[in-house]
Amino acid sequence: MTLEVFELTKFQSMNGTPLDEYASRMLAEGSEVLSGVDLDEIATLLPDADEYHSVYLLELCAKLDPNRVAAIAAPYLSSRIASLCCTASRILGSLEPQGISVEVRRVIQECPVIDLYWDDPASGESRQVGTNEAFISELREKLGFRDHLCEQWGGCGI
Whole-angstrom distance, CA of residue 103 vs CA of residue 119: 31
- The 10s digit of each residue's pLDDT in 77-115 is 999 999 999 999 999 999 999 989 999 999 999 999 999
The answer, yes or no, to whether residue 30 has pLDDT greater than 90, is no
Q: What angle do CA 21, 24, 28 make, to 5 degrees?
A: 135
Q: Where are the domains of the chain?
A: 8-153
- Arithmetic mean of pLDDT, 20-25: 93
In the predicted model, what is the mean pLDDT of the chain?
A: 89
- Of 49-63, 103-117, 142-156, the one with minimum mean pLDDT is 142-156
Which DSSP category does 71 fall into? H
Nearest-10 crossing angle of helices 82-93, 133-142 = 10
Q: What is the pTM of this model?
A: 0.86
